[in-house]
Amino acid sequence: MKKSLCFYFQIHLPFQFRRYRFFDIGNSHQYYDDFNTRTALQKAVEHCYLPMNRVLMDIIKEHGKDFKVAFSITGETIEQFELYAPQVLDSFKELAATGSVEFLCETYSHSLVFLKDEHEFDRQLLKQAETIERYFGQKPSVVRLTGLIYSDQIGERVAKLGFKAMVAEGAKHVLGWKTPNYLYSNAYNSKFKILLRNFRLSDDIAYRFSDRSWDQWPVTCEKFTGWLHNVDKTEEVVNLFMDYLTFGERHSKGSGIFEFMRYLPQDVLNQGEFEFLTPSEVVKKHEAKAPVHVPYPISWSEEERDLSIWLGNDLQNDAFNSLSELGTKVSFVDDTEITRDWERLQDSDNYYYMGTKWLTEGTPRRFQNVYSSPYDAYINYMNILSDFTLRVEDLLDTKIKDLLANKKYAERLEDIVSINQNKYTSIQVKKIINILGGELGLGLQKKTKKSTKSDKSQEKEIKTSKVKKN
């Protein structure tokens, strides 16, 4: 039986925020820098998306179903394609129509929401799945999360939504002596499969391809297929997962990266040891070798393979927690513009910009920071969040007043929630009741009132703190 070679590419670009100052709070709800967002996208389109899509289409035309790849394109990026580069969206649709390209699912806004809010996590995954099906005619069965983040609990949660597998990092501290070159299963659900990235071979392309100081430079098709041939004969699958900007952005056209990818499939197929499969095809073909136990979240970022690139300092954690506290209120408000801004505020790139580990470790950033410093990024983000919070509170007050205009809802607060109860878990219903009870001063239990008062005090302290910081 032939081994499986699985190529997967992630595609995500954030909506960039404008310079939003303290005195804009309450006066302007325009958060986005449309020019810089469009400029960054157009650069990626010119250098990577269109030329690399043409390369893949040429390969598929030559080899047909013998060549397969997979993509994960965030909902935010699809929105940008619609606004600024519809030709790119058309080219991905053409690739989808070949039957050789699979589209994976992830959180709509490239967020870290799975760490805080299960309901919002579910909503974003299902929204992204609907988006993929609407644009590309596929119902995704495999999930990747931001930075290839994975844990046992996250996998179990994704499985409950009906997905069949996830892709994750083949981290050394998780695998130990084991190899990533097998299909594995979730520690809690043996039916849910895990594909692990071969980080050495992936990064040979993603990060080292154009590194002239590397003792293996230059990387040729013959050399890379030789490395594949050296994989142990008993191992079954090699997963090569990387950012799509590897092609043309991280490694320029002049490096030969496009020619490498253009001719690699032919060399692999001529060798006869591997066949190209998509992630879902790998899941169908292979049996899970064993469960992989991941008690704490891992990612493909930096040497630590943890979450410190996004949540490694007080700035990042304060911003992340402050936003997360609004989740239940945002759900209850259920406003289109609020939801749009809520999703974009969740984009993990916002927290990446606040990272400080590079200041002490001298580690090069893997992509450009649009801010002058982590502190600049934090202050700008918190200013926007302050205005966003005011908007949510105002809409919440309006919705409450509208609902209470009907006396039958005023008599018992639970009745207010029951209108949309199908949207919420029982825990969230209780949270909403507590929030609304505090806002209205209605006759709830003393415990609830005390809790709400405490929450309001904390909120006041946070707001005061933010003013001082700004």
pLDDT tens digits, 314-344 = 999 999 999 999 998 998 888 999 999 999 9
pLDDT given at position 366: 46
Same domain? For 86 and 172 the reply is yes
Same domain? For 382 and 463 the reply is yes
Predicted confidence band at 414 (pLDDT cuts at 50, 70, 90)? low
Burial 112-130 (b: 16+ CB within 10 A, else e): bbbbbbebbbbbbbebbbe
The span from the CA of 115 to the CA of 348, in Å, is 12
For residue 403, the number of C-alpha atoms closer than 13 Å in the C-beta half-sphere is: 22
Residue 458 falls inside a structural domain = yes
Rounded to an integer, the average pLDDT of 375-392 is: 97
The amino acid sitting at 66 is: D
Tens-digit pLDDT profile for residues 175-187: 999 999 999 999 9
Domain range for residue 339?
A: 313-469
pLDDT given at position 398: 85
The span from the CA of 158 to the CA of 247, in Å, is 30
Positive or negative: CA dihedral 52, 124, 346, 295: negative
Identify the H or E element spanning 143: strand 142-143
Residue 308 falls inside a structural domain = no
User: For the domain that residue 158 is a member of, what is the CATH number?
Assistant: 3.20.110.20
- SS3 letters for 238-275? EEEEEEHHHECCCECHHHCHHHHHHHHHHHHHHHCCEE
Give the global pTM: 0.86
The span from the CA of 115 to the CA of 112, in Å, is 6
**Residues 433, 409: contact at Cβ < 8 Å?**
no
**Within a 10 A sphere around the Cβ of 362, how many other Cβ atoms?**
7
Residue 248 falls inside a structural domain = yes
Which of 257, 292, 327 is the last residue before a domain boundary?
292
Residue 306 falls inside a structural domain = no
pLDDT given at position 420: 56
Residue 364 falls inside a structural domain = yes
- DSSP secondary structure letters along 176-240: TTS-SSSEEEESS-TTSEEEEE-HHHHHHHHTTTT-TTSTT-S--HHHHHHHHHTS-TT--EEEE
Same domain? For 250 and 285 the reply is yes
C-alpha distances out from residue 185 to 23, 358, 428, Å = 52, 35, 31
Which of 237, 262, 292 is the last residue before a domain boundary?
292
Q: Which two tokens stand for residue 117?
A: 């809010």
Residue 392 falls inside a structural domain = yes
**Residues 8, 279: contact at Cβ < 8 Å?**
yes
Same domain? For 365 and 446 the reply is yes
Query: Distance between terminal CA atoms of the chain?
Result: 62
Same domain? For 235 and 338 the reply is no
pLDDT given at position 73: 98
pLDDT value at 450 more than 80: no
The span from the CA of 238 to the CA of 222, in Å, is 17
Q: What φ, ψ does residue 102 adopt, rounded to 5°?
A: -110, 145
User: pLDDT higher for 462 or 15?
Assistant: 15
User: pLDDT higher for 452 or 48?
Assistant: 48
Residue 297 falls inside a structural domain = no
Tens-digit pLDDT profile for residues 133-155: 999 999 999 999 999 999 999 99
**Residues 103, 278: contact at Cβ < 8 Å?**
no
**Average pLDDT score over the chain:** 88
Same domain? For 287 and 389 the reply is no
Same domain? For 239 and 337 the reply is no
> Which residues, including other chains, have CB under 8 Å from residue 279's CB and lie 6 or more apart?
6, 8, 70, 102, 104, 142, 165, 167, 195
Tens-digit pLDDT profile for residues 237-296: 999 999 999 999 999 999 999 999 999 999 999 999 999 999 999 999 999 999 999 999
Residue 302 falls inside a structural domain = no
Please report where in the chains the tokens 């649709």 appear, as a residue: 93
Q: How many residues does the chain have?
A: 470
Same domain? For 365 and 274 the reply is no
Positive or negative: CA dihedral 113, 114, 118, 122: positive
pLDDT given at position 465: 47
> Which residues, including other chains, have CB under 8 Å from residue 458's CB and lie 6 or more apart?
none
> Which residues, including other chains, have CB under 8 Å from residue 123's CB and lie 6 or more apart?
none
Same domain? For 331 and 397 the reply is yes
Q: Which two tokens stand for residue 25?
A: 């709070």
**Within a 10 A sphere around the Cβ of 29, how many other Cβ atoms?**
13
pLDDT given at position 332: 85
Same domain? For 265 and 322 the reply is no
Least reliable range by pLDDT among 82-86, 340-344, 362-366: 362-366
Same domain? For 320 and 220 the reply is no
**Residues 350, 319: contact at Cβ < 8 Å?**
yes
Domains contained in the chain, number: 2
The span from the CA of 181 to the CA of 149, in Å, is 18
Same domain? For 281 and 363 the reply is no
